[in-house]
Chains A and B, each alone.
Chain A
Amino acid sequence: MNAPEKLKKPPRSASELTCIVRVNEEIKSIVATAFRINLMALNAIFLAKRAGNAALGFGVLSNELRRFAQDLTHHMASLRDMTSGSVGSVTGVVQQQRNSAILLQAIRLSGDGVPGVREARKRGAQRLAEQHGRLRALDLRLRAAVEETQQLVELGGVLARSAKIEAAYGGGFSPALMQVSTDFAEVIAQIKRSLEVLGKERLVKD
Chain B
Amino acid sequence: MKQAHCIYQNDEHRWLAIARDASKPGYLIDTNEYLVMDGEQALLCDPGGIEIFPAVFSALSAECDPTKLAGIFASHQDPDIISSLALWLEFKPDLKCYTSWLWQSFLPHFGGSESTFVPIPDPGMTIRLGSLELQAIPAHYLHSSGNHHLYDPKAKILFSGDVGAALLPPDQGGLYVEDFSRHIRHAEGFHKRWMGSDRAKRDWCERVSRLEIDMMVPQHGAIYQGPDVQRFINWFAALEVGVLRG
Q: Chain A interface (Cβ within 8 Å of chain B)?
A: 1-4, 95, 99-100, 102-103, 105-106, 108-111, 114-117, 120, 123-124
Contact = CB atoms under 8 A, between A and B. Distances in A.
Q: In the complex, which of the residues A1, A100, A117 has the most CB atoms of chain B within 10 Å of its own CB atom?
A: A1
Main secondary structure of the interface of A (DSSP, over half): helix
B235 interface: no
A113 B58 CA distance: 12
* B interface, size bucket: 20 to 34
Interface of B: 1-2, 21, 23-25, 50-55, 57-58, 61-62, 65-67, 86-87, 90-93
Nearest to A111: B61
Contacts of A116: 65-67, 91-92
Nearest to A98: B50
Main secondary structure of the interface of B (DSSP, over half): helix
A4 B23 CA distance: 13
B90 A99 contact: yes
Given A95-B86, A110-B62, A115 B53 contact: no
Nearest to B90: A99
A109 B23 contact: no
B90 A1 contact: no
Nearest to B60: A110
B24 A1 contact: yes
A124 B90 contact: yes
B57 A1 contact: no
B86 A99 contact: yes
Nearest to A117: B91
A99 B87 contact: yes
B66 A103 contact: no
Nearest to A104: B54
B86 A115 contact: no
A102 B84 CA distance: 10
Contacts of B90: 99-100, 103, 120, 123-124
Q: In the complex, which of the residues A105, A116, A123, A124 has the most CB atoms of chain B within 10 Å of its own CB atom?
A: A116
Contact of B54 (A100, A105, A114): A105
A3 B24 CA distance: 9
24 contacts: A1-B25, A1-B54, A1-B55, A4-B54, A95-B86, A99-B87, A99-B90, A100-B90, A102-B50, A102-B53, A103-B53, A103-B87, A103-B90, A106-B54, A106-B57, A108-B54, A109-B1, A111-B61, A114-B61, A115-B67, A116-B65, A116-B91, A116-B92, A120-B92
Given A95-B86, A120-B90, A123-B93, A115 B65 contact: yes
Contacts of B65: 114-116
Contact of A106 (B1, B23, B53, B86): B53
B66 A102 contact: no
Contacts of A1: 1-2, 21, 23-25, 51-52, 54-55
